[in-house]
Amino acid sequence: MSEPTESMIREAHRRFDAINAEDPRTVEVDGVTKPRELAKADELEAWLHRVDPSPSVALRLAARCQHLGRFRIPRSEYPEGREGYLRWRRRLAEMHAELAGAILADVGFDEETRAAVERINLKRSLKRDPEVQTMEDALCLAFLAHDFVPFIDDYDDEKVIDILRKTWAKMSPRGHELALGLPLSGRAKSLVERALSGD
């Protein structure tokens, strides 16, 4: 890949990270406190490279702006329940696309690359588009590796098993392979085994 393209990717990542660094929510990563969305972008990018060691330019860009500025539109601004949740997710998707598109255009990426990033982040043609599938695998793996254990504390077994089966159905064989290698234990491991056994 040419140095000018690498330079543009670095600049886009810098601008994405500057927005995510504004997140008032924080998490601790290896003893260091980080803005939550910045940490999530790090996790997603790392999993992307495990799913595909040589990702395209569009995938590399998409991995750092998947949830760009998510904290700017709190879930609490929308009604409780599934309909409110879906409205919130749609608005977030619009905002992510607008923010990322403006940054990519300003950095100098062409329309084709910007469209590819938007397609990946909006998960259009999942199961048919290899890049969209790669991103979905990375998202699912990041969830299972970093969020699954605390997540299950809030739900009963049947709810978690249902979520796991839906998550598994969205993943590719490569995603399954990596997921099965995660070091889960206790209730988390038991729930995954039950979800995959069909019991």
Average pLDDT over residues 118-128: 88
Can you tell me the distance from the alpha carbon of 66 to that of 156, in angstroms, rounded to the nearest whole number?
29
175: nearest Cα among 123, 130, 119: 130
pLDDT in tens, 91-112: 998 899 899 999 999 999 999 9
- Asked if 192 and 161 count as a contact pair (C-beta separation under 8 A), the reply is no
Query: pLDDT averaged over the chain?
Result: 93
pTM, two decimals, is 0.91
Task: Say yes or no to pLDDT of 158 above 70.
Answer: yes
- Higher-confidence residue of 72 and 1: namely 72
* Alpha-carbon distances of 165 from 4, 138, 150, 193, rounded to whole Å: 43, 16, 18, 11
Percent of the chain with pLDDT over 70: 97
77: nearest Cα among 62, 87, 67: 87
Task: Say yes or no to pLDDT of 199 above 80.
Answer: no
pLDDT in tens, 46-95: 999 999 999 999 999 999 999 999 999 999 999 999 899 999 998 998 89
pLDDT at 127: 80
pLDDT at 125: 84
pLDDT in tens, 164-174: 999 999 999 99
Percent of the chain with pLDDT over 90: 88
pLDDT at 1: 60
pLDDT in tens, 6-27: 999 999 999 999 999 999 999 9
pLDDT at 126: 79
pLDDT at 40: 95
pLDDT at 165: 96
Average pLDDT over residues 154-177: 94
